[in-house]
């Protein structure tokens, strides 16, 4: 552990001239300037994960075995060794051939350490072979590959020399202090630099020069006359939201909304966090992909009650403030905690609460309320939503539960029954928002009123309400009103999540709904409004709105360009913006750039094919989809898009083959089965069409187009009874629709005529 001796503050601070610019325009200073006065905090930090986030490779920082050890991966053997005091690895490079590479930096420390290799053009690439730093008794002290079951070849974006392993664009911002990426897109070069190589004091507190000037003046007895101590951010208070947002900048799954992130601005002026989307979170909000902490914590009752990160974690060492259950019983105890008046005072750390033997794994609060999920093979991360275990929901939602993570030989129903025996009939069984999201994810129209109700429930966490509104479309008045209300909600996350739905409105309505949001206080909200309004004619906006739109789109473009070196989604966003503004050539180029970065990036490939279709370049669209299928043969969206284009080109036999494959790969997609059935009907294959429509009906029994198609199919075959069954369902859904009633009456008459 590093220890730094304190020096007399005045001796150091007097070296700072009384230059007011140091106060007005703060600059980053050396870490030693912080250690001079804040020795205890500095020493606490110096051996933390933050301090070890990145370091030059040397005998102290490198933990892996570089004694000539080897590691094999799909037939390729890498060798780790030292030469002339340098750490090197012989491994397959971008050409697939072995080369000697010097380890430039270490990356992380616990429970694994990765290694960075420098390439021409200022690129640092993260080697996919990592060192397991855990003790040997826990399976550690070994080399391992981060993708052990996938043969990642050179040219794949996941290869260690590819864009997704590029440190400059993917990792650096959260592993160093005051990082400036400095990417030159024209020459594809980096001149990345930082103030400190790791996550140091000023990464959280902001540049320190003004604070030093404040301290110098205070040391000399000068009346400072300012409300602050010169720091832009002090994210340590247990009662301020900055205590969360300061951590969220890195401990969140989010995207940038500005290329010039500033530590003194609210989180949503720099980033837009991901909501509880499929693939990132399970339907009930439990962590699924590597989403870090912020999104799960926002769901928690603890967050709503005012708990912040520093309540549990020491902000300098990043360690828990107490061991075991003691960190929880700071508040969850018989005497409670005066900060949280709503907390029930009871003994939580006892068998009457957890029903497990004292000291056992089941008696640990975190194992029930913060179950872990392992990432990068060896790194368990705990879910910070602090949820009450609900095994009764697992069968409904296909989501995990804490009980069965330990009791793996038992079923979820067993766990639910056991909990019922413990806690009685009054146990928590209320409807969970996960049930609504699961219904919405399946495309079931019955979710819509439930989503609207969830959105209007102010007791729900903002991230839950933001997730709910993202499922809605302004297809009817209740949904439109709910979206509009959310777009003007007091919470900027809900606003930003609602605005994209306005994009489907006619231009005049779009301008009216989104135009005023260009004046919103949050940059994330203004950016989303600008994206929606990018395709609107300037005449539909006021002069001030046109000015604001231009300003915000400039910020948006700069942000996308700043991340376009490694993120194909940035090119996708620029392509969508260009298409909306009537610039198809620019749009096409950005889609091609996205695919060049990541040939597997589905949204860009789908959108490019659709762009070619809109430009009547269907031959190119077909090729885009077929190229994608070669790379991802089991991607249903590609087969579906190809089938639609082939059907449009009257190549029905080929279309049916593609749509049939899409139906297999997307079994829950009503529209896929429906279009498959239509193609079969055109080929005069009524039995196969009936089978496809039946699958469509089973996925959504209330889809009016599916019902209408079934009526037509059976009527064409003079199967009046079957047609009447579905015609009656349409009338039930739309009792006031004269056309539906007329169709039913006509079918009844035709059946009666044939039966005479």
- Residue 86 phi, psi dihedral angles, 5° rounding: -105, 150
DSSP per residue, 658-705: HHHHHHHH-TT-HHHHHHHHHHHHHTT-HHHHHHHHHHHHHH-TT-HH
| Prediction pTM value | 0.89
- Looking at residue 309, its pLDDT comes to 92
Query: Residue 356's pLDDT band (boundaries 50, 70, 90)?
Result: very high
Cα(275)–Cα(257) distance, integer angstroms: 15
Number of CB atoms found within 10 A of residue 317's CB? 18
Give the CB-side neighbour count of residue 705, counting CA atoms within 13 A: 10
Q: Is the pLDDT of residue 501 over 60?
A: yes
Q: What tokens were used for 72?
A: 């094999």
332 or 264, which is more confident: 332
Q: Is the pLDDT of residue 10 over 90?
A: no
Cα(84)–Cα(259) distance, integer angstroms: 41
- Residue 414 phi, psi dihedral angles, 5° rounding: -60, -45
Cα(272)–Cα(252) distance, integer angstroms: 10
Query: Residue 185's pLDDT band (boundaries 50, 70, 90)?
Result: confident
Cα(603)–Cα(32) distance, integer angstroms: 47
Provide the 3-class DSSP secondary structure of residue 267: helix
Mind spelling out the 3-state secondary structure of 707-725? HHHHHHHHHHCCCHHHHHH
Are the CB atoms for 436 and 468 separated by under 8 Å?
A: yes
Provide the 3-class DSSP secondary structure of residue 613: helix
Are the CB atoms for 517 and 532 separated by under 8 Å?
A: no
Lowest mean pLDDT among 85-94, 329-338, 456-465, 484-493: 329-338
Query: What percent of the chain stands above pLDDT 90?
Result: 79
Query: What percent of the chain stands above pLDDT 70?
Result: 95
Going 11 to 17 to 20 to 25, the CA torsion angle's sign is negative
Are the CB atoms for 572 and 255 separated by under 8 Å?
A: no
Which residue in 151, 170, 33 sits closest to 107, CA to CA? 170
Output Rg (C-alpha) for the chain, integer angstroms: 30
- Looking at residue 3, its pLDDT comes to 33
Which residue in 244, 243, 217 sits closest to 230, CA to CA? 217
β-bridge mates for residue 88, sequence order: 81, 102
Number of CB atoms found within 10 A of residue 695's CB? 20
pLDDT tens digits, one per residue of 126-156: 999 999 999 999 999 999 999 999 999 999 9
β-bridge mates for residue 87, sequence order: 82
Domain boundaries, the chain: 9-50+202-219, 54-199, 242-407, 704-756
Mind spelling out the 3-state secondary structure of 110-134? CCEEEEEEEEHHHEEEECCEEEECC
Average the pLDDT over 446-454 and give the result.
95
Going 516 to 521 to 524 to 530, the CA torsion angle's sign is positive
Are the CB atoms for 33 and 83 separated by under 8 Å?
A: no
DSSP per residue, 359-390: TSGGGSHHHHHS-EEEETTTEEEE-TT-PPP-
Query: Residue 234's pLDDT band (boundaries 50, 70, 90)?
Result: low
Cα(572)–Cα(554) distance, integer angstroms: 16
Cα(605)–Cα(347) distance, integer angstroms: 56
Q: Is the pLDDT of residue 571 over 50?
A: yes
- Looking at residue 13, its pLDDT comes to 35
Angle (nearest 5°) at CA 535 between 531 and 539? 115
Are the CB atoms for 416 and 395 separated by under 8 Å?
A: no
Are the CB atoms for 54 and 197 separated by under 8 Å?
A: yes
What's the Cα-to-Cα distance from 301 to each of 342, 384, 388, 468, 594, rounded to whole Å? Answer: 11, 11, 10, 18, 40
316 or 261, which is more confident: 316
Number of CB atoms found within 10 A of residue 133's CB? 17
Going 169 to 172 to 178 to 184, the CA torsion angle's sign is negative
pLDDT tens digits, one per residue of 738-752: 888 999 899 998 898
Cα(87)–Cα(117) distance, integer angstroms: 10
Number of CB atoms found within 10 A of residue 325's CB? 17
Cα(412)–Cα(405) distance, integer angstroms: 10
Give the CB-side neighbour count of residue 4, counting CA atoms within 13 A: 20
Lowest mean pLDDT among 183-192, 538-547, 671-680, 681-690: 183-192
Cα(388)–Cα(372) distance, integer angstroms: 14
Query: Residue 233's pLDDT band (boundaries 50, 70, 90)?
Result: low
Average pLDDT of the chain? 91
Query: Residue 342's pLDDT band (boundaries 50, 70, 90)?
Result: confident
Which residue in 597, 92, 594, 538 sits closest to 609, CA to CA? 594
Query: Residue 343's pLDDT band (boundaries 50, 70, 90)?
Result: confident
**Nearest-10 Cα torsion for 105, 111, 158, 165:** -30
DSSP state for residue 356 in the 8-state scheme: S
Q: What tokens were used for 465?
A: 């309400």
- Residue 123 phi, psi dihedral angles, 5° rounding: -80, 140
- Looking at residue 548, its pLDDT comes to 97
Residues 6+ apart with CB under 8 A from 617: none
Query: Residue 18's pLDDT band (boundaries 50, 70, 90)?
Result: very low
pLDDT tens digits, one per residue of 393-446: 998 898 999 999 999 999 999 999 999 899 887 777 778 999 999 999 988 888
Cα(23)–Cα(218) distance, integer angstroms: 13
Please provide the distance, in angstroms rounded to a whole number, between the alpha carbons at the two ends of the chain: 97
Are the CB atoms for 463 and 295 separated by under 8 Å?
A: yes
- Looking at residue 344, its pLDDT comes to 87
Element (H, E) at 96: none
Q: What tokens were used for 639?
A: 């087969």
Angle (nearest 5°) at CA 318 between 315 and 321? 80
Q: What tokens were used for 535?
A: 């395709």
Give the CB-side neighbour count of residue 694, counting CA atoms within 13 A: 8
Which residue in 352, 389, 386 sits closest to 370, CA to CA? 386
Residue ranges in 601-651 assigned as alpha helix (H): 602-614, 618-631, 636-648
603 or 185, which is more confident: 603
Q: What tokens were used for 634?
A: 């089991």
Angle (nearest 5°) at CA 654 between 648 and 659? 80
């Amino acid at each position: 552990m590093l220890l730094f001796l304190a020096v007399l503050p005045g001796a150091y601070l007097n070296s700072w001239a009384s230059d007011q610019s140091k106060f007005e325009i703060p600059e980053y200073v050396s870490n030693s300037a912080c250690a001079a006065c804040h020795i205890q905090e500095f020493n606490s930090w110096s051996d933390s994960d933050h301090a070890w986030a990145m370091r030059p490779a040397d005998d102290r920082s490198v933990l892996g075995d570089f004694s000539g050890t080897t590691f094999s991966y799909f037939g390729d053997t890498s060798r780790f060794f030292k030469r002339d005091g340098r750490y090197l690895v012989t491994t397959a490079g971008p050409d697939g051939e072995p080369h000697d590479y010097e380890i430039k930096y270490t990356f992380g420390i616990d429970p694994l350490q990765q290694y960075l290799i420098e390439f021409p053009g200022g690129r640092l690439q993260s080697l996919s072979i990592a060192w397991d730093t855990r003790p040997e008794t826990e399976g550690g002290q070994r080399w391992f590959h981060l993708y052990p079951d996938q043969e990642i070849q050179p040219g794949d974006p996941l290869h260690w020399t590819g864009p997704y392993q590029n440190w400059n664009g993917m990792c650096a911002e959260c592993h160093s202090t005051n990082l400036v990426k400095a990417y030159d897109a024209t020459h594809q070069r980096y001149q990345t630099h930082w103030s400190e190589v790791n996550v140091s004091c000023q990464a959280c507190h902001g540049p320190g020069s003004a604070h030093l000037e404040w301290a110098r003046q205070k040391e000399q007895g000068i009346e400072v006359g300012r409300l602050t101590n010169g720091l832009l951010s002090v994210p340590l208070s247990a009662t301020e939201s900055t205590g969360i947002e300061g951590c969220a900048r890195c401990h969140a799954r989010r995207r940038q909304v500005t290329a010039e992130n500033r530590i003194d601005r609210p989180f949503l002026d720099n980033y837009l966090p991901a909501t509880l989307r499929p693939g990132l979170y399970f339907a009930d909000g439990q962590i699924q992909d590597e989403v870090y902490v912020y999104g799960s914590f926002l769901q928690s009752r603890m967050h709503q009650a005012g708990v912040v990160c520093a309540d549990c974690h020491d902000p300098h060492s990043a360690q828990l403030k107490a061991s075991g259950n003691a960190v929880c019983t700071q508040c969850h105890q018989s005497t409670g905690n005066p900060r949280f008046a709503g907390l029930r005072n009871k003994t939580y750390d006892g068998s009457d609460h957890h029903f497990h033997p004292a000291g056992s794994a089941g008696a640990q609060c975190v194992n029930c309320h913060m179950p872990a999920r392992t990432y990068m093979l060896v790194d368990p991360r705990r879910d910070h939503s602090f949820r009450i275990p609900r095994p009764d929901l697992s069968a409904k939602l296909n989501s995990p539960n804490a009980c069965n993570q330990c009791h793996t030989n038992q079923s979820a129903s067993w766990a639910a029954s056991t909990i019922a025996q413990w806690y009685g009939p009054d146990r928590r069984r209320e409807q969970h928002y996960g049930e609504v999201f699961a219904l919405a994810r399946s495309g079931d129209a019955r979710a819509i009123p439930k989503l609207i109700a969830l959105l209007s429930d102010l007791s729900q966490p903002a991230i839950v309400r933001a997730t709910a509104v993202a499922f809605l479309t302004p297809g009817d008045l209740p949904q439109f009103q709910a979206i509009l209300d959310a777009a003007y909600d007091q919470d900027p996350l809900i606003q930003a999540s609602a605005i994209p739905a306005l994009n489907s409105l006619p231009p005049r309505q779009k301008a009216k709904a989104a135009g005023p949001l260009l004046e919103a206080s949050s940059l994330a909200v203004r950016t989303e409004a600008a994206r929606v309004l990018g395709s609107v004619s300037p005449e539909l906006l006021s002069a001030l709105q046109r000015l604001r739109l231009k300003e915000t789109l400039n910020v948006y473009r700069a942000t996308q360009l700043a991340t376009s070196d490694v993120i194909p989604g940035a090119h996708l966003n620029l392509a969508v913006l260009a298409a909306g503004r009537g610039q198809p050539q620019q749009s096409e180029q950005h889609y091609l750039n996205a695919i060049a970065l990541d040939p597997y990036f589905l949204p860009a490939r789908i959108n490019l094919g659709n762009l070619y279709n809109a430009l009547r370049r269907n031959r190119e669209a077909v090729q885009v989809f077929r190229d994608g299928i070669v790379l991802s043969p089991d991607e249903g969206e590609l087969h579906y898009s190809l089938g639609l284009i082939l059907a449009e080109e009257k190549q029905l036999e080929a279309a049916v083959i593609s749509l049939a494959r899409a139906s297999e790969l997307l079994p829950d997609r009503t529209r896929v089965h429906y279009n498959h059935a239509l193609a079969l009907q055109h080929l005069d294959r009524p039995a196969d069409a009936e089978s496809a429509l039946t699958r469509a009906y089973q996925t959504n029994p209330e889809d009016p187009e599916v019902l209408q198609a079934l009526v037509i199919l059976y009527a064409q075959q003079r199967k009046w009874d079957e047609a009447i069954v579905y015609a009656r369902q349409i009338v039930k859904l739309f009792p006031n629709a004269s056309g539906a009633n007329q169709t039913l009456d006509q079918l009844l008459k035709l059946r009666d005529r044939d039966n005479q």
